[in-house]
Amino acid sequence: MTADLMGRLRQVVGPAGVIDDPGEMAGYASDWRNAYSGTPAAVVRPGGTEEVAAVVALCAEAGVAMVPQGGNTGLCGGAVPDHSGRQVVLSLTRMRRIRDLDLGNQTITVEAGAVLQSVQAAAAAAGWLFPLSLGAEGSCTIGGNLATNAGGTGVLRYGTMRDLTLGLEVVLPNGRIWHGLRGLRKDNTGYDLKQLFIGAEGTLGVITAAVLKLFPGVQSRAAAWVALPGPQAAVDLIGVLRELAGDRLTGFEIMSRQSVEFVLRHSTGARDPFGDRHPWYALVELGDTLPAAGLDGVLESSLGEAFERGVVVDAVVASSPAQAAALWALREGISEAQNHEGPSLKHDVSVPVSRIPAFLERTDRALGQVVPGIRIVAYGHVGDGNLHYNLSKPDGSDDDEFRARAGDLARVIYDSTSAFDGSISAEHGLGQSKRGIIADYKDSHELELMRGLKQLIDPQGLMNPGKLLPG
Ligand code: FAD
Ligand code: MLT
Ligand code: ZN
């Protein structure tokens, strides 16, 4: 990058808004797990939409590629530059204003760099709920949530970011601003352009702000930790809960014993809710907008019915918010705990909910044939058909030997996912990690259309190159 461009960028965002010292850039150059790293030409931190537009226009004029970055918590290397030393990281973290809270319209308008937790807090302070919830919510940003179409634990009841968004403001790759910040629930005036940018992982433009839906605050909750004989019981239990608790079912996560065992081993204060070991567990949550909705009773009677039907082996209903939080900590701790067991090979897949049991049986068996003794950490948002099929090496084996099998193991999982009509990325995206293989699993006409859209919106190919689309 030329000194002239650096100087002009500094004029736009101020001297503090451009970082080019390698030490200071380190935090932006690799992801939180250090699984992906690169060498940025510079990190630019604009303070507002007009500044983003000016920065993008300058980079476009100079032919410099840009990598949008939010909280850098993504799991596919999407926010990390390559090693060329020629890509600029465009960090949105200075843009974190809540621009508007329209309670009549039940919407909140926020800037892209706002941390998810702060948006949840702003909604809660007004007595409303912004329901997106995920383990990284203390660091991830709304821009990153939109660009990855984030899911998390509230999807079952409220949907993904695609469902939660009414309008967007986006800086296009030529530096023009698309003013799509509309708060409309109905708008049939043509193509729904915002949906193009949601889930595009920064390859079509820089999201600078969004109008998001709010929901009535949840005034009462009930949670239970449930022991299950196997994955089919999880599918059956969802059916029972839907039947008896209806829309009050707000969360349904499953965890294999192996997943929970890692948390019990590595998370301070973690405690097994049962004396006995069970092969699978579910974490169930009900929520209601009424303060005294009798949810504990609804949950107990639903689980009692499931017990009668032979679906549930044992269950503990949380008797206080602190106990419910401890149960959620067992679930949310899995990702971190697995890091203590050597490399964690992550796969984020979805299949139709009804097919999960057969999918797990076939895939587990095939993985064991490739690496005997492999430790399978399968868990996730099973109510959405979304499993985190994460893998750890056999006990006591070599890290590098296991890493060398990563490609073979991924193939097993993705071939199986495909055989069950699933998707190789349910919620984390493609980024760098799955870009090389998506062509094997996605219809070639769909990919052709995606390439055409990319060419139309970003003809110079400067917006997050090397991500999402196959090379
Ligand atoms: P980043 O990592 O900074 O970026 C992610 C992608 O979005 C990149 O491609 C980047 O270029 C692009 N991007 C970022 N900001 C913008 C912008 N303003 N405009 C255009 N493009 C942009 N994800 C889930 O979906 N569900 C989960 O349950 C979940 N749990 C997680 C738990 C843990 C412990 C961790 C570490 C991660 C988890 N994730 C989960 C993944 C991650 O948190 C999400 O993908 C999150 O939405 C990323 O937000 P971010 O701000 O960190 O984005
Ligand atoms: C989760 O739901 O815990 C994450 O999306 C999965 C992960 O970190 O692998
Ligand atoms: Zn997840």
Segment 235-275, tens digit of pLDDT: 999 999 999 999 999 999 999 999 999 999 999 999 999 99
Q: Whose CA is nearest to atom 28 of ligand 1?
A: 152
Alpha carbon distance, N-terminus to C-terminus of the chain? 24
Task: Tell me how far apart the alpha carbons of residues 331 and 339 are, in angstroms, rounded to a whole number.
Answer: 15
Closest ligand, as measured to the CA of 203:
1
Q: Which of 291, 311, 333 is where one domain is finished? A: 333
Structural domain span for residue 11: 3-91
DSSP assignment, residue 91?
E
pLDDT of residue 195 exceeding 90: yes
Q: Are residues 272 and 212 in the same domain?
A: no
Retrieve residue 84's tokens: 């060329």
Q: Are residues 72 and 132 in the same domain?
A: no
Task: Choose the residue to mutate in 148, 252, 262, 348 for probing ligand 1, maximizing ligand atoms within 8 Å of C-beta.
Answer: 148
> How far does residue 388's CA lie from ligand 2's centre (Å)?
6
Residue with tokens 């997050």: 464
Ligand 2 pocket residue status of 388, Cβ below 6 Å: yes
Ligand 2 pocket residue status of 153, Cβ below 6 Å: no
Asked whether residue 262 is domain-assigned, the answer is yes
Closest ligand, as measured to the CA of 135:
1
Question: Largest Cα–Cα distance in the chain?
Answer: 74
Task: Tell me how far apart the alpha carbons of residues 107 and 94 are, in angstroms, rounded to a whole number.
Answer: 22
Average pLDDT over residues 26-51: 96
What pLDDT does 221 receive? 96
How many helices (H) and strands (E) the chain has is answered by: 18, 18
**What's the predicted TM-score (pTM) here?**
0.97
Q: Are residues 314 and 289 in the same domain?
A: yes
> How far does residue 139's CA lie from ligand 1's centre (Å)?
9
Q: Which of 205, 246, 210 is nearest to 53 (CA)?
A: 205
Ligand 2 pocket residue status of 390, Cβ below 6 Å: yes
Asked whether residue 467 is domain-assigned, the answer is no
Asked whether residue 7 is domain-assigned, the answer is yes
Task: Tell me how far apart the alpha carbons of residues 413 and 347 are, in angstroms, rounded to a whole number.
Answer: 8
**Mean pLDDT over all residues of the chain?**
97
Q: Which of 157, 181, 216 is where one domain is finished? A: 216
> How far does residue 216's CA lie from ligand 2's centre (Å)?
27
What pLDDT does 258 receive? 98
Q: Are residues 231 and 324 in the same domain?
A: yes
Q: Are residues 166 and 67 in the same domain?
A: no
Task: Choose the residue to mutate in 33, 37, 66, 69 for probing ligand 1, maximizing ligand atoms within 8 Å of C-beta.
Answer: 69
Which is the closest atom of ligand 1 to the Cα of 31? Answer: 2
Q: Whose CA is nearest to atom 5 of ligand 2?
A: 152
Closest ligand, as measured to the CA of 331:
2
Specify the number of domains making up the chain. 4
Contact 111, 47 (CB under 8 A): no
Q: Whose CA is nearest to atom 1 of ligand 1?
A: 72
Average pLDDT over residues 280-289: 98
What pLDDT does 159 receive? 97
Q: Are residues 284 and 308 in the same domain?
A: yes
> How far does residue 17's CA lie from ligand 2's centre (Å)?
32
Q: Whose CA is nearest to atom 47 of ligand 1?
A: 145
Task: Choose the residue to mutate in 28, 30, 45, 73 for probing ligand 1, maximizing ligand atoms within 8 Å of C-beta.
Answer: 73
Percentage of the chain beyond pLDDT 70 is: 100
Q: Are residues 81 and 31 in the same domain?
A: yes
Percentage of the chain beyond pLDDT 90 is: 98
Ligand 1 pocket residue status of 150, Cβ below 6 Å: yes
* Cβ-Cβ contacts under 8 Å for 401 (sequence gap 6 or more): 393
pLDDT of residue 32 exceeding 90: no
